Amino acid sequence: MRTGLISTTVALAILGLASLAPAADTIPVGHLACYTGPTSDVGVPYGNGVADALNYINAQGGINGKKISFETVDYGYKAPEAVATYKKWMSADAKPVAIQGWGTADTEALVKFVAQDQVPYISASYSGHLTDPAGKGSHAKAPAPYNFFYGPSYSDACRGLVQWAMDDWKTKGNKAKPKFVHMGDNHPYPNAPKEACGAYATELGFDVLNPIVYSLKPADAKAQCLSLQESGANYAYLGNTSGSNISLLKSCSTVGVKTQFLSNIWGWDENSIKATEGAGDGLAWVVGAPPWQSTDAEGMKTLMAISKMSDSGGQTYRSLHYIRGVCGVMFMRDAMLSADKQGGITGPNIKHAMEQMKDYVPTGMKGVCTPSTWTGEDHRGTTKVSVYTSAFNGGKFTMKPLATVEVPRRADWIGW
C-alpha cells in the first residue's frame, strides 16, 4: 500500500510539473499571493482583488480580444518559494509578460531577476528604494527598473502623516514643539520609512524622540505603552502591521495613553477597527483608495462589478486592501492596452507604457484609484497621501477622510 501511495504521489507530481501549457493567443501573467503565510491577514483580500480584477478584464473581452491567462500561486511569504515559482513561470513556453506580486519578501528577492528578464513587477511592497528605476538616488542601493507599485511609498506616506500632524498641532493652537516617535519592531518592514520620516519630521519642527520597539507578533504591549506615556510623545507612528497594532492599541487604551497615533497603509483597516473595539478610535492612517461604497463615483461602480466576479450576490464587503489590489491590476491593464498599440504586449513595452502615464487614472476607475505618474527616472506613482480616521461606534464603524496631503516630490528623495 505504501509503495502505491508513493508512486501515485510521484506520478501526480510529474504530471503537475510537466504540464503548464496555456492556450495560444493569451497574455500570460503571473500572480504571486500570500494566502497562508504570516502576512495572510492582508494578503488574502489583496490577492482576491488582483484575481477578481484579472477575471473581470477577461470577462470584458480581455486586452483587445486577447484573454489574460494567469496562475495564482500562494508562496507563503517565503522568498525561495517565490523565486522557484518565478523560475517555473519563466521556463514555461509562455513566459509571463507581467507579474502581480505581493510583499517585501517576494519583491526584494525578485528585483534582480525581473530586471534581467524585463518583466514588469507590480506589487504591494511600497518600499522607497523601489521608486528608483535608475539607481541614481542619494540613498540608492540598486536600480529597480521593472518594479512598480500603486500608491505612495512607505516613506512618502509617513512624510504625509507627519505633515498632517504638524497642521493638526497648529490648528489645535499649540505653541510648543510637538514630540514625534517612531514605533515598530526591529525588522525591515516597520523600519523602512524610519530614517526618511524622522528626517522630515525634524525638518518640520518636531522633536523626534527615541524610537520604541514593539513586537510584530501580537503580544501584550503594556510595557511599551507605559514607555510611550512616560516619553510624553504627542504623535506616535505605528510601523507594524495591523495584527500587532491591534494588541498595542488595546494595551495602550488599558493603560490610558493619550497620544495621537498615526499608522501606515498596512497598519490599520476595517478589520482592525472591529477587532480593537474602540481602542483605536481617532487614529490617523494612510488609505490608498476610498473605502468600499463610500462614493458613487464611476470607479466604485466598476469596482462593484469586479467584486461580483467572485461574489455574484454582490453582498460581500470589500476591504481597502482589496481595492488597492484592483487598482494595481487596472493600471497594468491600461499599460497593456497602450503597449498593444505600440508594438505588442511585451515586458519592455508595458514598462514603457506605464512610464508614459501622467496623472493617469485607469479607464472606469475614476474616483477610486489615485491619479498616478511614472517616468523613466522616477517610479513614485503618487506622492498624494490620503489621511483617514476611524471610529468604532459599537460595531457600525465609520471611516472618514481627514485630509489629502501633497508631499513634495523632491528629487533627492527618489529611492528614499
Q: Which is nearer to another protein, 50 or 357 (CB)?
A: 50
- Give the separation between CA 296 and CA 345, rounded to whole angstroms: 33
Q: Which is nearer to another protein, 8 or 398 (CB)?
A: 8
In a 10 Å sphere around its CB, with 0-12 CB exposed, 13-18 middle and 19+ buried, how is residue 278 labelled?
A: middle
Residue 43's contacts (CB-CB under 8 Å, 6 or more residues apart) are: 33, 34, 35, 37, 77, 102, 103
Site string for another protein, 267-286 (x = CB under 8 A): ----xx-xxxx---------
User: Which residues in the 373-402 window bind another protein by CB under 8 A?
Assistant: none
Q: Which is nearer to another protein, 187 or 366 (CB)?
A: 187
Q: What is each CA distance from 99 to 30, 106, 272, in whole angstroms?
A: 5, 11, 29
User: Which residues in the 29-88 window bind another protein by CB under 8 A?
Assistant: 33, 35-36, 40-41, 43-44, 47-48, 51-52, 55, 71-74, 76, 79-81, 83-85, 87-88
Stretch that binds another protein, among 153-161, 168-176, 222-230, 360-368 (CB under 8 A): 222-230
Of 61, 112, 293, 401, the one binding another protein (CB under 8 A) is 112
Shortest CB 224 distance to another protein, Å: 7
Evaluated on CA atoms 273, 277, 279, 282, the torsion sign reads: positive
Give me the sheet containing 260-263, strands edge to edge. 207-208, 179-183, 235-238, 260-263, 284-287, 384-391, 398-406
Longest CA span, the chain: 79
Of 100, 104, 131, 307, the one binding another protein (CB under 8 A) is 104
Shortest CB 48 distance to another protein, Å: 6
Q: Which is nearer to another protein, 161 or 273 (CB)?
A: 273
For the chain, what is the radius of gyration of the CA atoms?
22
- Give the separation between CA 168 and CA 58, rounded to whole angstroms: 45
Tell whether residue 224 is a contact of another protein (CB under 8 A): yes
User: Which residues in the 113-172 window bind another protein by CB under 8 A?
Assistant: 113, 116, 129, 141-142
Site string for another protein, 353-372 (x = CB under 8 A): --------------------
**321 neighbors 264 (Cβ within 8 angstroms):** no
Amino acid at 300: M
User: Which residues in the 311-330 window bind another protein by CB under 8 A?
Assistant: none
Shortest CB 360 distance to another protein, Å: 28
User: Which residues in the 183-202 window bind another protein by CB under 8 A?
Assistant: 185-188, 190-192, 194
**415 neighbors 139 (Cβ within 8 angstroms):** yes
